[in-house]
């Protein structure tokens, strides 16, 4: 199946920070989580995809169209919610809805009204007078109903309370199930990524660490409690602490333990937050 977004050898230099080279593909029917330390370049990458900044090298193609130049008709197929929205403060929710809905032929008014009720959004209030959490709720209510093929969300749950976060996740899953779509989401909330993401693209200080299928990544790390940690390195070893050892190659590690007659007292899978922490070290 052809990719909807193709990023190849992308680079961007900004003062003392360099992003890339980054190569990434986004396929239909998937949710891809962008993961990284603060300042890793996640938001910059999204801006480059949306042609809000110019790359210094490499290419981005969206539905076969090169992201560059004045022709931005491809943006009808993408909806983008940035971390910080500039230029909305003076407008009420009602006015913003009227402005945005007029730009998208597939606008889903029923979904918008459902989200307004669910999040209890005061549409008559100016955006700049809303709390950060309410601003985020309104932004999401103005993003999903656009019914674009691709939805790009930069830290969409950072200011949501727990019930609202749960409602949003349910809405997003239903939105994905309704037709063939793709989502790119950045988040420091590993619980969000665990529940939503199919793939994780991990970045550190502007560099790509890897593009992982989430379930395969969860299965590839294991912690072992041993009756004696060997002096030599164990296959796939990424950390050890007293009687504990973590391997990213469990099959090879367990074969080694058997050959070396090392007794495994217990073992357990790592959670996603621990794995991401290891990848970012």
Across the range 30-56, mean pLDDT stands at: 95
The CA distance from 244 to 39, in Å, is 32
The confidence band for 15, taking pLDDT boundaries of 50, 70 and 90, is confident
Determine if the pTM surpasses 0.75. yes
What does the pLDDT read at residue 228?
Answer: 85
With a cut of 70, say whether residue 71 has pLDDT above it. yes
The confidence band for 199, taking pLDDT boundaries of 50, 70 and 90, is very high
The confidence band for 2, taking pLDDT boundaries of 50, 70 and 90, is confident
Instruction: Pull the structure tokens for residue 117.
Output: 């009720």
Instruction: Pull the structure tokens for residue 152.
Output: 């790009």
Across the range 249-254, mean pLDDT stands at: 97
Contact 48, 60 (CB under 8 A): yes
What does the pLDDT read at residue 1?
Answer: 63
Highest mean pLDDT among 12-16, 94-98, 176-180: 94-98
With a cut of 80, say whether residue 271 has pLDDT above it. yes
The confidence band for 281, taking pLDDT boundaries of 50, 70 and 90, is confident
Higher pLDDT among residues 71 and 203, named by residue: 203
Which residues, other chains included, contact 60 with Cβ-Cβ below 8 Å and sequence gap of 6+?
A: 5, 6, 7, 8, 10, 48, 49, 66, 67, 68
With a cut of 90, say whether residue 242 has pLDDT above it. no
Least confident of 46-60, 63-77, 264-278: 63-77
Across the range 186-193, mean pLDDT stands at: 91
Contact 217, 278 (CB under 8 A): no
Which residues, other chains included, contact 42 with Cβ-Cβ below 8 Å and sequence gap of 6+?
A: 34, 35, 36, 154, 186, 203
Higher pLDDT among residues 126 and 14, named by residue: 126
What does the pLDDT read at residue 79?
Answer: 96
Query: Interior CA angle at 25 toward 176 and 222, to 5°?
Result: 80
Percentages (nearest 5) of helix, strand, coil residues in the chain: 35, 30, 35
In tens, the pLDDT along 105-130 reads: 999 999 999 999 999 999 999 999 99
The confidence band for 169, taking pLDDT boundaries of 50, 70 and 90, is very high
Cα–Cα distances (Å) from 223 to 78, 215, 217, 246, 249, in that order, read: 41, 17, 14, 4, 11
What does the pLDDT read at residue 263?
Answer: 95
């Amino acid at each position: 199946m052809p990719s909807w977004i193709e990023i190849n050898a992308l680079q961007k230099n900004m003062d003392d920070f360099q992003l890339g080279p980054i190569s990434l593909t986004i396929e239909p029917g998937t949710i891809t989580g962008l993961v990284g330390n603060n300042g890793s370049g996640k938001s910059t990458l999204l801006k480059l995809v949306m042609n809000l900044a110019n790359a210094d090298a490499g290419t981005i193609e969206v539905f076969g169209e090169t992201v560059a130049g004045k022709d931005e008709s491809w943006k009808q197929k993408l909806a983008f919610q940035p971390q910080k929205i500039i230029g909305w403060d003076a407008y009420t929710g009602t006015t913003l809805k009227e402005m945005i809905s007029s730009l998208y032929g597939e606008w889903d008014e029923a979904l918008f009204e459902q989200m307004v009720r669910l999040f209890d959004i005061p549409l008559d209030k100016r955006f700049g007078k809303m709390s950060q959490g309410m601003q985020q709720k309104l932004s999401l209510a103005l993003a999903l109903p656009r019914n674009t093929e691709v939805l790009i969300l930069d830290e969409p749950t950072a200011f949501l309370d727990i019930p609202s976060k749960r409602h949003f996740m349910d809405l997003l899953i239903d939105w994905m199930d309704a037709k063939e779509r793709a989502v790119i989401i950045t988040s420091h909330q590993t619980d969000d990524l665990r529940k939503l993401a199919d793939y994780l693209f991990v970045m550190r200080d502007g560099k790509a660490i890897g593009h992982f299928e989430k379930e395969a990544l969860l299965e590839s790390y294991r912690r072992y409690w041993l009756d004696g940690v060997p002096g030599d390195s164990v296959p796939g070893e990424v950390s050890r602490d007293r009687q504990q050892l973590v391997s990213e190659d469990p099959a090879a590690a367990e074969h080694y333990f058997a050959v070396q007659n090392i007794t495994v007292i217990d073992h357990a899978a790592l959670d996603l937050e621990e794995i991401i922490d290891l990848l970012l070290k």
